[in-house]
Structure 1
Amino acid sequence: MANADPLLLVLKLANDAEEQAALLLKSAQLECQKRLNQLSALNNYRLEYMKQMQSQQGQAISASHYHQFHRFIRQIDDAITQQNRVVADGEKQKEYRQQHWLEKQKKRKAVELLLASKEKKRQVVEQKREQKMTDEFASQQFYRRHQR
């Protein structure tokens, strides 16, 4: 393997880097989905709690119970606000990892293109060499025939 093109090693490293970036992107996507699910759960919990309170409308509710209800709703709203920030941070991380993956993919494709170009040039040189050998052989045969 002493004759192997060093670009093959570069290509292997580029492939490995792209695969690693793809794994990080997948992880970020899963984390984003998890965060969105948590936000959805908080919103659903708030909605259910509001429905519960609404179903008690018209009934006598103590002032302390009413105060606790509003305090609890504020806490849920604060948790929803915080979770919205967590979701936004996750989206930024996902976008960053997607850009990182795209850069790694672009580098890999550039190395592949360079290798393909080198191979094409090698084939052209090989074809010219073979054509030269064929021409020389034909010349020698022609020369030998006319020398007799």
Structure 2
Amino acid sequence: MMSQRFSMLIKIQQEREEKLQALFIKAQQFYAQAEQKYQGLANYRTDYIQQSQQQGSAGLQSRQYNQFVNFIAKLDQAISLQAKAVQQAKAAAEQRKQSWLTMQKKRKALELLVQRNDMAELQKQLKQEQKNADEYASQQLMRQRALAEL
């Protein structure tokens, strides 16, 4: 049947699908890590500002204030870069997901094609068997009539 002829092709499609799924999972994990890093930086910035404000209530020297401002600027820059990394990781994960789902659709379509063809071949075979059975019954009837005429 056709399914035997296409079993290798379906197997190859499944392997490709599994590889794409693995790539999607890795991309999703990378995205989650990037998001965690972003949240960590944002939380650190908030904590640092709160601690600095508490210390600053006692009064800050201009040098300490400049260090504070410079450090916050560096944190802001790091947060901005990490936000871009998060967006890129999210886009990559989504692209890999779409590739995986597309391959999954192709495999399912191929399996459906094979299944439909197998059903068509089975129906053809059943029709042939019915035709043979009808022909055999017809020949039996003709023999019985021929014997009855004798």
Aligned partners of 2:71, 2:59: CA distance in 1, in Å?
Answer: 19
1:58: Cα distance to partner?
2.5
What is the Cα-based RMSD across aligned positions, in Å? Answer: 1.3
Decide whether the 8 Å contact of 2:3 with 2:115 is kept in 1. no
- State yes or no: 1:20 paired with 2:45: no
Deviates more, 1:57-66 or 1:133-142: 57-66
Decide whether the 8 Å contact of 2:3 with 2:118 is kept in 1. no
- State yes or no: 1:106 paired with 2:76: no
Aligned partners of 1:89, 1:60: CA distance in 2, in Å?
Answer: 42
Aligned residue for 2:127?
128
TM-score (norm 2): 0.93
Aligned residue for 1:57?
56
1:3-61: CA deviations, max 9, x gaps? 97321111111111111111111111110000000000000100110010111232121
The answer to which structure has the higher helix fraction is: 2
Aligned residue for 1:116?
115
1:77-136: CA deviations, max 9, x gaps? 000000011001101101110110111011101101110111111111111111011101
Q: Which runs of 5+ in 1 are unaligned?
A: none
Query: Aligned residues: percent identity?
Result: 34
- State yes or no: 1:10 paired with 2:31: no
Decide whether the 8 Å contact of 2:3 with 2:114 is kept in 1. no
SS of aligned partner of 1:5: helix
Aligned residue for 1:78?
77
Aligned partners of 2:105, 2:124: CA distance in 1, in Å?
Answer: 29
4+ residue runs of structure 1 moved beyond 6 angstroms?
none
Size of the aligned set, in residue pairs, is 146
Aligned partners of 2:17, 2:102: CA distance in 1, in Å?
Answer: 8
Aligned partners of 1:89, 1:58: CA distance in 2, in Å?
Answer: 40
What aligned pairs does 1:36-47 form with structure 2 within 5 A after superposition?
36-47=35-46
Aligned partners of 1:58, 1:102: CA distance in 2, in Å?
Answer: 56
TM-score (norm 1): 0.94
Q: Which runs of 5+ in 2 are unaligned?
A: none
